[in-house]
Chains A and B, each alone.
Chain A
Amino acid sequence: MSSTAKARGGRVGLAVFLAIAVFPASGGLLYALLYSLGGVGLLSRGWTLQAWIRVLTGSEFWRSLLFSSTVAAEVVLISVALGLSLALSLGERLQRTLGTLLHVPLTVPNVVAAFLTFQLLAGAGLMSRVAVRVGAIPDTARFPSLVQEPWGIGIVLAHVLLATPFLVLLFAALARSERVSAFVELASTLGANHTQTLRRVVLPLLLRQALPSLVLLFIAILGSYDIPLLLGVQSPQMLSVLVVRKNGIYDLAQKPEAYSVAILYSVFTLLLLLRVIPLQGRRREAS
């Protein structure tokens, strides 16, 4: 295949690829690097490591990274658990109307999901009012903080609501394409009971196939912006919100810090991406 590679690709493909995929993103990251080091910028006074030292020695970036990763991990774990159990228990029903219905939540964008979650869970939101009505709490002021609180409960919930239908459909599709039922039959013929089949055969099979998508889901939530912008608190902030805030802060001297956080985030994400690509290759060869 290698001998034909160049010829097959064509110059058009290469040009398009470089112009749209490679240059803009790498150019942006390079600019960010230069800016963070004082190489460019309106208020720059020459090369300096100051922004980097401030970001790396301060707690803000680390807390933001920890918070973003925790939120992303929680969303992946919860929605995988929900997605798997629903996909397996609903089985072939997902090929009928129910499957189509599950596409409906996929038409809800992040901004709207954040808005709805807020309306539902805010201190004087629908849930709080219902809780008062059924007598669970005396008045809405007693309702626990579920949005705009430091644990990011609302952020996780909004993301779970968006990710779960997607994962149900993904796992159901994988179960069909991997002919899980054939393996299940084989396992039970060999004397495995229900739990054993599930633990040893079905789950490993599905999770391994879904792994690239799950890592990508993690990455997407790590950099999420619209949802934490509305449902998050001022500290800790998720990474995207932090970068945007630092970039537009009153103290103009902090702008280079925004760029060093952007670089750190990008390095972290791209390292994760490096883990995904071999997996994608494996999946491709397998299919």
Chain B
Amino acid sequence: MAAALAFGCRQGDADAAAPPGSWRETLLRARGQTVALAMWQGDPYINAYIRDFVAPRLRRDYGVVLRTVSAQGNQIVSMLMTEKEARRPNSASDIVWINGETFYQLRQIEALYGPFTDRLPNARFIDWRNPFIRYDFQQEIRGFECPWGNVQFALIYDSGAVADPPRTRAALSEWWRAHPGRFTFDVQFTGLTFLKSLLIEIAGGGQALAGPFDESKYRESSTRLWAWLNENKRFLWKSGRTFPDGVAQLHELFASGEVAFTMSNNDREVDNKIAQGLFPSTARAYVLDSGTIQNSHYLGIVQGAPHKEGALVTINFLISPEAQLEKQKPSVWGDGTVLDVTRMPAPWRESFTSEAPRSYAPSRAAIQGKALMELAPEYMLRLHDDFRTHVIDR
């Protein structure tokens, strides 16, 4: 509410004579629009945040109706690509929840609208100085997507079953050998982020693979990664012949005790999964000694979006201190904010700093030193396809 008051976002403030292109005019035009948000819907908490918090608020405060469409990364690309092929003027979706590799591909086929972040009043709170937010998979955002959340990859284990979790790649394979069938990773975004962290470690750690995609470096380090995986995969779940299709399935395997580890792109997720009752209260999160990837996820507007104003208003609300604070609560989603707390008006600053401490996840300060930058998107695209050729199909 304070956010709405502070920036005059209420529709009542907007008058008919709003200058064209102004935020007031955007608000006016947005009213009554039904905005379609294409998002990954693999987590009941995230779905509930959108459905029970964001959607009612948008409807009440801005007259915008929010509708979700289930689609993630590659599906979004394929969908928008077919729309382009069919020369459809109006896209079926307005906002897409993306990062890195999807952003890269959507920019390639020119499916994103922008630059638009300058037009969002709340964008001034975003922590633009943070390289983990300003760069998406080593790419400049250039206003074509808006940061939404910031997270770091973490492994999750059951401290009741595993006393001392493996913290290096060597320790991992040792643990696998000693406990066959009790570890695996998914073949979607989360598992690939895990592989990427290992790839960086193999290449020499830290900044070894920073910068634009380097074919020879990739070849060398990925060959070693596949060799290591093929050597050890028979100790993975189902003897490494198949992998869970998504992180939700991996969580379920962990929850039912079939495997002893799961993982998350979100360092805080363990808190919300314990609160939800899915994970045992003995579940804990940690990061590898060689570091794990920290990245941000973003919201883009589709070039052919029929409701651009509604999309702008929606995104502006999603990056408001109010929505970001709610999203950060472990009981809601536990997603890290992209806002710079020091830039916020005083009451918000206090709410953010007095936020409930993490109960089972490591603190951000403790793992920030082990945060690795995302690699150029081609690494992920290649890993995704090569993992299939070199590991699954063998």
Contacts and interface: CB of A to CB of B under 8 A. Distances in A.
Direct contact of A and B (CB under 8 A): yes
Contacts of B388: 234-235
A122 B181 CA distance: 14
Contacts of A42: 81, 84-85, 109
Given A150-B241, A248-B75, A255-B78, A141 B258 contact: yes
Contacts of B77: 248, 250, 252
A141 B257 CA distance: 9
Interface in B347-394: 380-381, 384-385, 388, 392-393
A101 B241 CA distance: 40
B187 A248 contact: no
A149 B238 contact: yes
B388 to A, nearest CB: 7
Interface in A108-125: 122-124
B318 interface: no
B257 A233 contact: no
A140 B238 CA distance: 13
A226 interface: no
Contacts of B182: 141
B74 interface: yes
Nearest to B394: A235
A140 B258 CA distance: 7
Contacts of B238: 145, 148-149, 233
Contact of B257 (A140, A251, A252): A140
Given A247-B78, A249-B385, A141 B392 contact: no
A250 B81 contact: no
Contact of A250 (B105, B242, B245, B392): B105
Contacts of B253: 123-124
A86 interface: no
A233 B242 CA distance: 6
B256 interface: yes
Given A250-B381, A250-B384, A124 B85 contact: no
A282 to B, nearest CB: 43
Interface in B224-278: 238, 241-243, 245, 253, 256-258
Nearest to A254: B385
Interface in A98-147: 122-124, 140-141, 145
Interface string B149-171: 00000000000000000000000
Interface in B261-303: none
**Most chain B beta-carbon contacts within 10 A, residue among A149, A150, A252:** A252
A74 interface: no
B351 to A, nearest CB: 39
- SS class, residues of chain A in contact with chain B: loop
Size range of the chain B interface in the assembly: 20 to 34
A60 B181 contact: no
B101 interface: yes
Interface residues of A, number: 24
Contacts of A255: 78, 81
A154 B2 CA distance: 54
Contacts of B75: 248
Given A41-B85, A123-B253, A233 B385 contact: no
Contacts of A59: 393
Interface in B292-348: none
Contacts of B84: 42
Given A140-B257, A250-B385, A149 B241 contact: yes
A59 B393 CA distance: 10
A207 interface: no
A279 interface: no
A249 B73 CA distance: 10
Nearest to A35: B85
Contact of B243 (A41, A234, A250, A252): A234
A148 B242 contact: yes
Interface string B52-76: 0000000000000000000001110
A29 interface: no
B385 A234 contact: no
A104 to B, nearest CB: 28
A235 B393 contact: yes
A217 interface: no
A150 B238 CA distance: 10
Contacts of B181: 141
A170 to B, nearest CB: 35
A234 B187 CA distance: 9
A250 B241 CA distance: 22
Interface string A22-35: 00000000000000
Contact of A234 (B73, B85, B105, B392): B392
A198 interface: no
A249 B105 CA distance: 11
Contacts of A141: 181-182, 258
A233 B74 CA distance: 19
A235 B243 CA distance: 10
A59 B243 CA distance: 20
Interface in A25-78: 40-42, 59-60
Contacts of B257: 124, 140
Interface in A215-235: 233-235
A223 to B, nearest CB: 20
A40 B87 CA distance: 12
A68 B55 CA distance: 43
Interface of A: 40-42, 59-60, 122-124, 140-141, 145, 148-150, 233-235, 247-252, 255
Given A248-B75, A248-B77, 6 more contacts: A124-B253, A148-B238, A150-B242, A233-B241, A235-B393, A251-B381
Interface of B: 73-75, 77-78, 81, 84-85, 101, 105, 109, 181-182, 187, 238, 241-243, 245, 253, 256-258, 380-381, 384-385, 388, 392-393
Q: Which 7 A-B pairs have the closest CB atoms?
A: A233-B242, A124-B256, A248-B78, A123-B258, A124-B258, A250-B381, A235-B392
